[in-house]
Structure 1
Amino acid sequence: MPASLETGNAEPHYHETPEGYFRQIYLEAIDHLVNAIKDRFDTPDFDMYVNAEQALIQCIRGNEFEDELNAITTFYGDDFQKDNLRCQLKMVSANFESDCKREYVLFADIVKYVKSLSKGEKVWLNEVVKLIKLVLVMPAKNATSERSFSSLRRMKSYLRSTMKQVRLNSLMFLNVLKDKTDGLNIHDVAVEFVFKESR
């Protein structure tokens, strides 16, 4: 960081040995990892995601799921009718068919089973279908946006401080959609660039 942007009046600290310097870096990295894991999983959104998924899985496995059901109906309020959801979950459990044993059933197996139902059956199990849709669209964490904010610091560094918003937006767009931009033919891009304008 440039000296003009440095803040604080603390005396600089110099390590006595290279091992001490690398030990500090190692401990900072471990601390960062632990905090990142806590930030990722200790959130109300993730708890609700787990409750919704576990209500479906525990019901199919024949286990008690009343705590998860209470958490779901409390969180979503009038979106779910508790008695209807409980009844429909038991109906799904009674009619569930899968290649694997019930104690090994995963959420993907339940989704596959519900997809195989007819439209009429899905209407009868509308609360369960609604719960499955919520689990499928509810992100435990929005990793894409977090990654884009992390890469923003690499894009607009102190050496690129005069970069305008249009160029930054374009670079961030390319960075976020890496899987698509990596497949671009660089030769075609160069040809299009050359034939744009004389300047």
Structure 2
Amino acid sequence: MRKRRLTQLQDPQERYRNLYMAILDNILEQIPRRFSNLESMLFLELVNPGKFDDMRQAFPEEAFQSVLKSYGHHFDSGRVRSELQVLYSDQDFQSNRGKLCDYLVFLKDMELDSAMPQLYKLFSLVATIGATSAGVERSFSCLKRLKSYTRNTMGQGRLSSLALLAIERTLVKSLEKTPSWYDRVTEHFLEKERRAEFTYK
């Protein structure tokens, strides 16, 4: 009996089946934990342009209570409600349908960020919440390429600056079209005193 159990444990197919079942059990246990706080993120619907027409008919009370529950100390509830109702019904906002950042730019360009501060704050809050972790993972893979074994003595300041340049490479590429930017960088670089005194006293 003991010998048979040992042979079963050594059987690769049985061992991998047990491992597979253990992984599935772990996933099934983790899924409810991972998605248990989705109700606290209902307020993301408040600034979804695709639902503005529906929200004009019936105000999204559940999503509104969600933002008050999570971030209520940052907002004036009465003003947020009235500014959201303006957002859902105003034709200028309706014609500006696009990405979330387009709304933020629109509010800033039309100087509505001071007239509707609660709405601007809500848009800014939603814009800072990452929908996925892809950006963070990209940053780490970028750091892995920058700080290799041969560059192990690189300081934190230099590493941060190089990582920022690598991550924002599209912005740096766009700056190539403005030669004055290079002149300003060169002037800033030359401002610092880089000579060291090596004479023995």
Q: Compute the TM-score of the two structures, normalised by the length of structure 2.
A: 0.53
Q: From the superposition, tell whether residues 25 and 87 of structure 1 become closer, same or farther in structure 2 (CA, over 3 Å).
A: same
Among 84, 91, 102, the alignment partner of 1:89 is 84
2:60 is the counterpart of 1:60 = no
Corresponding residue number in structure 1 for 2:101: 111
Query: What secondary structure sits across from 1:62 in the alignment?
Result: helix
Amino acid at match of 2:69: T
Query: What secondary structure sits across from 1:182 in the alignment?
Result: helix
Corresponding residue number in structure 2 for 1:129: 120
Q: Residues of 1 paired with 2:134 and 2:7: CA distance?
A: 36
Alignment of structure 1 residues 175-190 onto 2, 5 Å: 177-183=140-146, 189=151
Q: Residues of 2 paired with 1:127 and 1:191: CA distance?
A: 47
Amino acid at match of 1:136: A
| 1:14 Cα deviation after fit | 4.2
Check conservation: 2:42, 2:63, Cα contact below 8 A. yes
| 1:116 Cα deviation after fit | 2.1
Q: From the superposition, tell whether residues 89 and 72 of structure 1 become closer, same or farther in structure 2 (CA, over 3 Å).
A: same
Higher Cα Rg, which structure: 2
Q: From the superposition, tell whether residues 184 and 76 of structure 1 become closer, same or farther in structure 2 (CA, over 3 Å).
A: closer
Check conservation: 1:59, 1:89, Cα contact below 8 A. no
Q: Residues of 2 paired with 1:29 and 1:181: CA distance?
A: 29
Amino acid at match of 2:61: E
Alignment root-mean-square deviation, CA: 3.8
Corresponding residue number in structure 2 for 1:154: none
Q: From the superposition, tell whether residues 121 and 144 of structure 1 become closer, same or farther in structure 2 (CA, over 3 Å).
A: closer
Q: Residues of 1 paired with 2:153 and 2:51: CA distance?
A: 59
Amino acid at match of 1:62: D
Identity of aligned residues (%): 16
Q: Residues of 2 paired with 1:53 and 1:15: CA distance?
A: 55
2:33 is the counterpart of 1:39 = yes
Check conservation: 1:80, 1:127, Cα contact below 8 A. yes
Which stretches of structure 1, 4 residues or more, deviate above 6 A after TM superposition? Answer: 140-145
Q: From the superposition, tell whether residues 21 and 144 of structure 1 become closer, same or farther in structure 2 (CA, over 3 Å).
A: farther
Q: From the superposition, tell whether residues 30 and 191 of structure 1 become closer, same or farther in structure 2 (CA, over 3 Å).
A: closer
Higher helix proportion, which one? Answer: 2
Q: From the superposition, tell whether residues 110 and 137 of structure 1 become closer, same or farther in structure 2 (CA, over 3 Å).
A: closer
**Higher RCO, Cα 8 Å, sep 6+:** 1
Q: Residues of 2 paired with 1:182 and 1:54: CA distance?
A: 38
Q: From the superposition, tell whether residues 99 and 80 of structure 1 become closer, same or farther in structure 2 (CA, over 3 Å).
A: closer
Deviations 1:95-116 (A, max 9, x none): 324576xxxx7xxx23312312
